[in-house]
Structure 1
Amino acid sequence: MAAITKESLPPVGHAIAGSAGAMFALSLVYPLDIIKTRIQVQAKHDKLSDEEQEHYKSAWDGICQIVEKEGVAGLYAGLGSSLLGTASTNFTYFYCYSFIRERYNKYSNNTGTLSTGMELLLGAAAGALTTLITTPVSVVTTRQQTLPVNERQNVVETCKSIVDEEGIAGLWRGIRPSLVLCVNPAITYGSFEKIKEIVLSTFNLKLTPGVAFFVGALSKTLATIITYPYIMAKVRLQWKPSKEIQGKVQAYKSAYDVLSRVLQQEGFFGWYKGMSTQITKAVLSQALLFMMKDIFTNYTILAYALLKNSKK
């Protein structure tokens, strides 16, 4: 029986390795994740006083304010659902991406590298499937990260509240911009493969964890800059005002409504509010994911080999 390699590892193996790497990365950068989410929903509301409008001048200012009001635990609000969402999203994405890529190579008799266009197409298809399955977890996480402590609930209670108030469709709030954002991982993974090829061939390097970190950072920065306005729009659609300001804040109806109101109230740069924190978090987590996925893939291969040997 042939030995298992990275190329022959089945899609579920890549999915397990990808999920483990993503959860590890998120655990390290989670305070930045909650800060960028809160900055993204901090809009200008005419009917709110300065005291009612939470405002962070920077990521560090946000961390200080949260610690002062909620303690250190406030920096990890919603971590459980976020880890669940990260695990399910990355497991589904890596499984779908590996499965689709494997089938495409098989039926097209492709033995070389894929074109940039095909990488993007396969990534977008995998991203769309992933989004349809995992959007409810994203909605729950956003609610837990942005609601005040006295209104925050656990995962099950948050789901129940959403269904009671908005119906089952509420769990898929923001699905349209989320589907548009399928191009984000497509751009990330497509550019990762191409940048990796250029770096390895130009500098005659091997894909070490350090090189993977660098290439992952470049590819994620590119994807984040291109798609950020829709990232912000999706978060604002999934956000729910606290009870203190409900009635004073007009709910967003669609991604177009978010983008047009932000443009009117805050100008073009309002579309990129919090982008520096988003990029820092996204780049760190994505680069760590690419770096750790390679390591976790090796452990997954070892686990497969041990399982096969135990069945002999």
Structure 2
Amino acid sequence: MNKLINVSSNVDLDDPRFRIKPYQQIVASCTGAFITSVFVTPLDVVKIRLQTQQKAMLSNKCFLYCNGLMDHLCPCTNGKMPDWMKRNGKFKGTFDALLKISETEGIASLWSGLSPTLVLAVPATVIYFVSYEQLRLYLKDTYNKQFKKKGINVEQPFWIPILAGGTARIWAATLVSPLELIRTKMQSQKLSYAEITQTLKIVVRYSGISGLWMGLGSTLLRDVPFSALYWLNYETIKKMYSSQQIFTFNLVAGAVAGSIAAFFTIPFDVVKTHRQIEMGEKEIYSDKPIRSSTTWTIIQRIYYQNGLKGLFTGLVPRLVKVAPACAIMIATFEHGKRFFQSYNAKKAIEFERDVHLLQHKPNNTK
């Protein structure tokens, strides 16, 4: 029995005999979601503040006639600039933002939006990871079925994690989009729950319930390619180093895969933040609130006013956030999968042993 258990702990996690159940996938993903949210929220606050700062500098421009010889271009506050920008001045970078926010607003401000982040992270992570695993396994089993009949053992094709990851992200992002909007507003400027509630009421009044999903298009434009690239990179790394399936390996593989995906999708992250903040500004400062600009319009405006660099605003804090977040989340999830797989294998072997004993039990009846 011990020999069988040791062998089972080394088999593929996708082995149908010991494959973990959906409720076990839920448990495996919850812990990682909580730890990741607490760890990366300050970095998310900084990233959104930097992107908000860029938007304020671009959207509130005016000409100031200074000395009679030349015009000077400067940002106008005209009441629309967030209070934290007036107190902190311009952030020079990630670490400068961390220090200034801590000094002027208190260390707790770095965890602004943590409550909706936790409420957002747990269901979103559960939906995302369980959907990905279930869809990936379904596609893999369906694809391999034709080969199993011929006795051929094939590896998982590259397109399965791409399709499964992208589809899972669509489901998760759509369901939690209203919470994502609230979290972004709370991190872009220090707002009370009463102010957030008032803003949401105005959104619903002028845009209907669908207004709560404002920015979903740019969110999907960012998250779906990110998810597809992430899972493709991660599954590829796993396949290349299949003998190194340990917690540390999963940390490194998750960080590398997440960093690559984050780099290529950062422009869409900038657009998403601009659209959701712009929504709040239009609802508050316009007599007749209207929907935000389209994704393509925002990309053109950012590129025209600030060049290619503008589309990569917040890249450093995003990478600093995404790399450890992906590392912690995937390592915790994979560790949980291995734990439950070992548990399932042990139960299966004990069941087989009991059946074997019953079948070979001496018949003492006369």
Matched, 1:283 2:294: no
- Matched with 1:69 is 104
Cα deviation, residue 113, structure 1: 3.0
Query: In the alignment, is the contact (CA less than 8 A) between 2:42 and 2:110 conserved in 1?
Result: yes
Matched, 1:46 2:87: no
Cα deviation, residue 116, structure 1: 1.5
Q: Distance in 1 between the 2:251 and 2:51 partners?
A: 26
Map residues 1-312 of structure 1 onto 2, 5 A cutoff.
6-7=13-14, 8-42=19-53, 43=55, 44=57, 45-46=60-61, 48-49=75-76, 52=81, 54=85, 55-110=90-145, 112-149=154-191, 151-153=192-194, 159-160=200-201, 162-164=203-205, 166-181=207-222, 182-200=224-242, 205-240=243-278, 246=285, 252-298=292-338
Query: In the alignment, is the contact (CA less than 8 A) between 1:236 and 1:252 conserved in 2?
Result: no
AA at the equivalent of 1:213: L
Cα deviation, residue 306, structure 1: 11
Query: In the alignment, is the contact (CA less than 8 A) between 1:214 and 1:287 conserved in 2?
Result: yes
Distance 1:152 1:67, change over 3 A: farther
Distance 1:164 1:62, change over 3 A: farther
Cα deviation, residue 239, structure 1: 1.7
Q: Distance in 2 between the 1:222 and 1:179 partners?
A: 18
Gaps of 5+ in 2: 63-74, 146-152, 351-366
Does 18-27 or 48-57 show the bigger shift?
48-57
Cα deviation, residue 263, structure 1: 0.8
Q: Distance in 2 between the 1:50 and 1:61 partners?
A: 22
Q: Distance in 1 between the 2:143 and 2:44 partners?
A: 40
Cα deviation, residue 212, structure 1: 0.8
Q: Distance in 1 between the 2:111 and 2:347 partners?
A: 36
Q: Distance in 2 between the 1:221 and 1:160 partners?
A: 37
Cα deviation, residue 215, structure 1: 0.9
Q: Distance in 1 between the 2:304 and 2:120 partners?
A: 33
AA at the equivalent of 2:294: S
Q: Distance in 2 between the 1:215 and 1:299 partners?
A: 19
Q: Distance in 2 between the 1:85 and 1:304 partners?
A: 30
Query: In the alignment, is the contact (CA less than 8 A) between 1:252 and 1:258 conserved in 2?
Result: no
Gaps of 5+ in 1: none
Q: Distance in 1 between the 2:194 and 2:158 partners?
A: 43
Q: Is the radius of gyration larger for structure 1 or structure 2? A: 2
Distance 1:102 1:117, change over 3 A: closer
Query: In the alignment, is the contact (CA less than 8 A) between 1:120 and 1:186 conserved in 2?
Result: yes
Q: Distance in 2 between the 1:217 and 1:83 partners?
A: 21
Distance 1:298 1:157, change over 3 A: farther
TM-score (norm 1): 0.84
Q: What percentage of residue pairs aligned between the two structures are identical?
A: 22
Distance 1:83 1:162, change over 3 A: farther
Does 161-170 or 283-292 show the bigger shift?
161-170
SS in 2 for 1:273: coil
Q: Deviations over 1:144-174 (max 9, x none)?
A: 111334x554886765454345421121111
Distance 1:130 1:112, change over 3 A: farther
Cα deviation, residue 20, structure 1: 2.2
Query: In the alignment, is the contact (CA less than 8 A) between 2:48 and 2:184 conserved in 1?
Result: yes
Cα deviation, residue 222, structure 1: 0.9
Q: How many residues align?
A: 302
- Matched with 2:363 is none
Q: Distance in 2 between the 1:303 and 1:239 partners?
A: 47
TM-score (norm 2): 0.72
Cα deviation, residue 50, structure 1: 6.6
